[in-house]
Amino acid sequence: MRKSRTLNLGTGSFVLLGFAALFFLTTQTTSHGLAVFGPAHYQVIAKFDNVGDLKVGAPVSMSGVEVGRVTKIDFDSNEYKAVVLLRLNERFNKIPTDSDASIYTQGLLGGKFIGLTAGGADTYLKDGSQIDFTQSAFVLENLIGQVLANFTKQKADEQAPARADPKATEKTK
């Protein structure tokens, strides 16, 4: 009887610790975490033609240092652009208003993130500001399509003079 009670207590403690670890990991890996422990922040808007597979919770970095996170991605039906809401840490409150935002890929197959490049203005972004200079995500499928289209066009151009010049075909016979 004593052995099963100890076993039950040990199993229950193990399960409880597992749930506590899962809760901790969830709060650390999601975009929101626990607001009680988070640093003060301000929100900035950036509009892109194409966000690719940028996700909520993606990092926002400047010079390789994480300065914030993406909190919302929406669509502006008037301008036909993706609207991205950035939550920037209050510590980084001296980002010039003419800075630009670009969407980059982490590594070859990694996730997307937003990189900020500082401008030279004397005024700084504040809560509710909009970043006007943006560069959309690089879509690999578009590049592959362009390469294939150029390749087939080049092959067609190489074959076109041979068909147009009958003397060229007689010389090869």
3-state secondary structure of 91: coil
The encoded tokens of residue 68 equal 């914030």
- At 79-109, the pLDDT tens digits run 999 999 999 999 999 999 999 999 998 876 6
- How many angstroms separate the CA atoms of 42 and 130, rounded? 12
- How many angstroms separate the CA atoms of 119 and 82, rounded? 22
- How many angstroms separate the CA atoms of 59 and 25, rounded? 17
Query: Stretch 120-146: mean pLDDT, rounded?
Result: 87
State the pLDDT at residue 164: 56
- How many angstroms separate the CA atoms of 58 and 71, rounded? 8
State the pLDDT at residue 128: 92
Q: With 0-12 CB in 10 A as exposed, 13-18 as middle and 19+ as buried, what is 71?
A: middle
Specify the pairing of strand 59-62 against strand 100-105. Answer: unpaired
Query: Which value, in Å, is the radius of gyration of the alpha carbons in the chain?
Result: 27
Q: Where are the alpha helices (DSSP H) in the chain?
A: 2-29, 140-164, 166-172
pLDDT of 32 over the 70 cut: no
CA-CA-CA-CA dihedral for 37, 42, 46, 51, to nearest 10: 0
3-state secondary structure of 6: helix
- At 4-20, the pLDDT tens digits run 888 888 888 888 888 88
DSSP-derived secondary structure for 107-122: TTT--EEEEEE----S
pTM above 0.85, yes or no: no
